[in-house]
Amino acid sequence: MCGIVGAVAERDVSRILLEGLRRLEYRGYDSAGMAILDQECVIRRQRAAGKVERLESALEETPLTGRLGIAHTRWATHGKPTDNNAHPHVARDAVAIVHNGIIENYAALRSRLQADGYSFSSETDTEVVVNLIHHNMGQGGELFEAVRTSLTELEGAYAFGVICSAEPDRLIAARRGSPLVIGVGIGEHFIASDVSALLPVTQEFIFLEEGDIALITRDAVIIHDARGKVVERPVKRSQLSATAADKGSYRHYMLKEIYEQPRVLAETLEGRLSRDRVLPEVFGPDAGAVFDQVQRIQIVACGTSNHAGMIARYWFESLAGLPCDVEVASEYRYRPHVVSPGTLFVTISQSGETADSLAALREVKSQAKHLATLAICNVAESSLVRESDLVLMTRAGPEIGVASTKAFTTQLAALLLLVIALGRRHAMTADTEARLVEGLHALPALIDRVLQMDADIAKLSEAFADKHHSLFLGRGPLYPVAMEGALKLKEISYIHAEAYPAGELKHGPLALVDAEMPVVAVAPNDELMEKLKSNLQEVQARGGQLFVFADERTTFEDSPGLRLVSVPAVDDALAAVVYTVPLQLLAYHVALLKGTDVDKPRNLAKSVTVE
Ligand code: G6P
């Protein structure tokens, strides 16, 4: 999704802005641009549809230099990804803006501004805002006041960076609905939509809150809150290092992140388990009193995080004896609900900035019908974390590949901690807890063994690369694993992939099965195994090519039309985590063969901060 970087410094900022844009590339975008105020106080701008490299080439030909600037990666919403629609947008050579989010009343504002003589060269909502600011500056007005007035007229979500040719030392930043941070340097300040953009220049950050607007100079930051009051926001030190987001020797971030899973799973569990128990203080000092009252779980999330929630539902009901509902946030937020007493509202999110998940949380908080809110999240400074009552951090580290991998498996580990912490207050016995904790201790090493399947899976991927469709089957908690496997494949290889609970096969998808439709089944050695076997025979009988990922102890055998992939034996409860990994590798290798942009698949964004 769109990315913002900005800087006011004593040195030339163009390199800093360009590096910032590179570091935001992972969010997904389709054009990029930069505007800098030069020594003559003229706003100079370069924009390019496509990758940041194209902008870089344009800058090599016509460099921009100056000590105040803003830059942007745009993910098209209003208008196509063209040079003209790329940010920054400029009003009458005087004001320049970069914007994340969507302005809902832009059409009405545009007509009004046109009537006042403003012309537009793009199809974007953003150009409306910059003209509005220019209009509100009038003759000789101040930029900060003009931005502040303009914000009162906007409906929708935004994060902005604004500069003006008449004020060469000032950068204005504002946020409502989209994240924005201020990076604090020595005699210089920066803004960005994500701390990772600024890690090469600072590790000190101020996180703007909803409705904040900031006047930023080299030496000072003055923040006004939504009510116009001057407020102090704390400066926080980020734990992320500038190199955490590097690819190292891996060909793609996604592969690196798949291989990081043993380590980040160990980190997610570290300090949270004794030999046979989940430590009670894991969820913070206030959690115990809340957990004692929990009678039901409502999970809300999007995309891959939603799949983690679907798996957890099986765990909550079968291991903890707690009723659990799961719903995608984009549906949940717009639906009236019946909330049972004692319902814990759980959001799951890698980024903590997904617009629908955040909106669902805010809706729930405003209704105050739930017992409490809990976020499982990977970004400590995110809005979701800051706005939830209780938090459990996954410790996956920065995830750059758009297709989520290590964030997902660490979410599962974190969810299992929650299942245990609540389960022991309900149906879970100490023996079950000890068995699960033993399994969790062994998990990182087990995932290491699964990664050794990489070369075999690479061979298997050849059978998929020329196909257009595929089916993924699973049962019980392995059904959402099949869904996640299908999602990975479609996201990065663009092969149509659908997941079904294996028992539903004969109620429709079987009609699609032929030699051109590979069918993947995840089949651990659990009680549903025999039933799954008969489902699979239905596929074989129709000439379908089956790929069965099964427990190494299984009695399945390779046969014509059936390729067996042995997966290390694992406790049923942890099978969902283990079986996810070979499916990640499968998607990766198929995408490699197809030559797609693995880390930045077309049309997708890492963090969907607009609706
Ligand atoms: C986007 C990403 C997915 C992610 C989903 C939810 O669609 O491409 O990988 O699963 O958003 O994101 P979140 O940050 O809330 O987990």
368 sits in the region (left: phi over 0; alpha: psi -120 to 50; else beta) called: left
Please report the pLDDT score of residue 101 as a whole number: 85
From 305, 346, 349, mutation site for ligand 1 pocket: most ligand atoms within 8 A of C-beta: 305
Query: Does the beta carbon of 349 sit less than 6 angstroms from any atom of ligand 1?
Result: yes
The CA distance from 234 to 206, in Å, is 6
Q: Relative to the CA of 384, which ligand 1 atom is closest?
A: 15
Q: Please say if 41 is a catalytic residue.
A: no
Ligand 1 centroid, distance to 145 Cα (angstroms): 36
The CA distance from 74 to 83, in Å, is 10
Among protein residues, the one whose CA lies closest to atom 4 of ligand 1: 303
Ligand 1 centroid, distance to 159 Cα (angstroms): 19
Catalytic residue among 2, 164, 302, 324, which?
A: 2
pLDDT by residue (tens digit) across 1-32? 689 999 999 999 999 999 999 988 877 788 99
Q: Please say if 164 is a catalytic residue.
A: no
pLDDT by residue (tens digit) across 300-325? 999 999 999 999 999 999 999 999 99
518 sits in the region (left: phi over 0; alpha: psi -120 to 50; else beta) called: beta
Q: Please, which pLDDT band fits residue 149 given cuts at 50, 70 and 90?
A: very high
Answer yes or no: is pLDDT of 544 > 90.
no
Whole-prediction pTM: 0.75
Query: Does the beta carbon of 302 sit less than 6 angstroms from any atom of ligand 1?
Result: yes
Answer yes or no: is pLDDT of 174 > 70.
yes
Ligand 1 centroid, distance to 605 Cα (angstroms): 8
Q: How distant, in Å, are the alpha carbons of 126, 231, 241, 245, 352 from that of 223?
A: 23, 6, 27, 30, 23
Pairing, β 156-164 against β 171-176: antiparallel
Q: Which of 231, 185, 234 is nearest to 6 (CA)?
A: 185
Which of 245-249, 330-334, 346-350, 501-505 bottoms out in mean pLDDT, i.e. has the lowest? 245-249
**Cα 429 from chain centre:** 35
Report phi then psi at 281, rounded to 5.
-85, 5
Ligand 1 centroid, distance to 10 Cα (angstroms): 38
Among protein residues, the one whose CA lies closest to atom 5 of ligand 1: 303
Query: Does the beta carbon of 410 sit less than 6 angstroms from any atom of ligand 1?
Result: no
Q: Relative to the CA of 407, which ligand 1 atom is closest?
A: 16
pLDDT by residue (tens digit) across 264-274? 999 899 888 88
3-state secondary structure of 536: helix
